[in-house]
Structure 1
């Protein structure tokens, strides 16, 4: 695809993976120390690129303390959505409060050194299903088969972060593709996001074939996320917002890319 197309989409699109940070808020040790990144900053940046709705994802450094995310959602709960990290002891009243604020999913992070394992999924599943929430996974490609097995019979939708971990090192014959197909049959979604987490460098052309294959496997169940504010980069060297959208346009074309940017409306109702 040409890299010289106008890549700004009509207003109203969705960026389905961003984080907000309060530099003064306590964090878990042994990981990065975030700097201040406010909701207003990403709202302005996204709006300039035709994106009106954001999905705030709980970063691993805050563990199950969702305070920063929920405070951000409280500003405009009807506009944005959230994905939180919780433990099995959370009360129904707190789940309902989160839902009213715009939370629509829980995250399990199997990659971060301070991430959370999947042990609480079975206990939480009935309560998540009752509220129509999904389960978001940050995982490696070799963990997809385990995720498919965990979801079997739960009635919960899986949402797979960052191209489902299908980086440039994942060969076309890798068994992870079969696991992805099993997840697709269960109704899973994939986020086209986090290119720099997938053994690729800007402009991420090396991921083009994987993006195209992902689109063929997942059909309409794809969303896009910028991964702002890009915690893999220093605060003074953040990738331009358009640069992490461009790989979708280059791989799939403007029409298909616009459909993906709008698809958050279906997943985050």
Structure 2
């Protein structure tokens, strides 16, 4: 984010705009439960962080503002979403301590997706599991593809399968066409971010996306109907076409929604309310939308 974007996201009006406020980092709140009983509806992709956290040396980007837990919970409350999933931001590397702190503070309302080194110990994975972490993230944008045949990666994926963890991947569809089957071979559920990121030029005709649709029979491939703006300027149109393709091939029950809050690198144009509006535009049928919001219950252990 450039220096012209505001340094702090306002709790009151984040869903409408960014405001200039120079407030300090808000501590993790005690409040976590929804204010009233409501149907289960799950936001499967969001991030929390603040500027006091240690950044990864190899980061491509780091935001110049705070997006702490209390502001995220406010987004859920304001938009009628009962539960959320916190995904470890790439710029925080493998230090999942703030992620875990926030998941625990939410007292069951949230789950987490961690980033770990492939040589992480089984004890560390078990501790993450006990804290509400339900999967691993591979944000491979701008990075080499992992060597899944190596002992380190193979061992990590085998341990993830034993924990019944999912593997979440962010990468262009053309590369996922080969990577997703290799991951599925380990017996894990695989979740692809942001419509599997088809090429903006070819859209739903992207050969990588078309290849992914052939993996539906595994019943272990899931795709997030999320953040169409990360595809390109015509993201909503591509999202509609990709949704139709994915719904017909993977099945409606293998599609899930994520807000992508706080929309890192797109903060000046995106809000939580806009994310929901784009979801409604892309997925026109209300029954489809409700199903997609409820599909993740078992996958993220909200049952």
| TM-score bracket relative to the smaller structure | 0.7 to 0.9
Per the alignment, residue 99 of structure 2 pairs with 69
Unmatched segments (≥5 aa) in structure 1: 1-9
Moved more, 23-32 or 135-144: 23-32
Which of 287, 290, 295 is the matching residue for 1:255?
Answer: 287
CA distance in 2, matches of 1:182, 1:87: 30
Per the alignment, residue 5 of structure 1 pairs with none
Which of 221, 242, 246 is the matching residue for 2:273?
Answer: 242
Query: Residues 184-234 of structure 1, C-alpha deviation per residue, up to 9 Å, x if partnerless?
Result: 2322000111211101358x2453222222222221111100100111224
TM-score by length of structure 1 reads: 0.87
Query: Residues 123-168 of structure 1, C-alpha deviation per residue, up to 9 Å, x if partnerless?
Result: 2122111111011100101112221331243111110011111253
Contact 1:148/1:179 (CA < 8 Å) preserved in 2?
A: no
Which of 27, 32, 38 is the matching residue for 2:61?
Answer: 32
Contact 1:17/1:57 (CA < 8 Å) preserved in 2?
A: yes
CA distance in 2, matches of 1:118, 1:41: 38
Query: Residues 102-136 of structure 1, C-alpha deviation per residue, up to 9 Å, x if partnerless?
Result: 111001111046x8845553121221111110111
TM-score by length of structure 2 reads: 0.78
Query: Residues 53-73 of structure 1, C-alpha deviation per residue, up to 9 Å, x if partnerless?
Result: 110001110111111211111
Per the alignment, residue 191 of structure 1 pairs with 224
1:171 CA displacement: 4.3
Number of equivalenced pairs: 256
1:126 aligns with 2:154: no
Whose Rg is larger? 2
Cα RMSD of the aligned pairs, angstroms, is 2.1
Which of 13, 17, 25 is the matching residue for 2:41?
Answer: 13
CA distance in 1, matches of 2:102, 2:147: 26
CA distance in 2, matches of 1:59, 1:43: 17
Unmatched segments (≥5 aa) in structure 2: 1-37
Structure 1 residues 172 and 198, CA, compared in 2 at 3 Å: closer, same or farther? closer
User: What SS does the corresponding residue of 1:81 show, helix, strand or coil?
Assistant: strand
Report 1 or 2 for greater relative contact order, CA contacts < 8 Å, sequence distance ≥ 6. 1
Contact 1:64/1:85 (CA < 8 Å) preserved in 2?
A: yes
Which of 120, 137, 154 is the matching residue for 2:169?
Answer: 137
1:84 aligns with 2:117: no
Contact 2:226/2:279 (CA < 8 Å) preserved in 1?
A: no
Contact 2:45/2:85 (CA < 8 Å) preserved in 1?
A: yes
1:11 CA displacement: 4.3
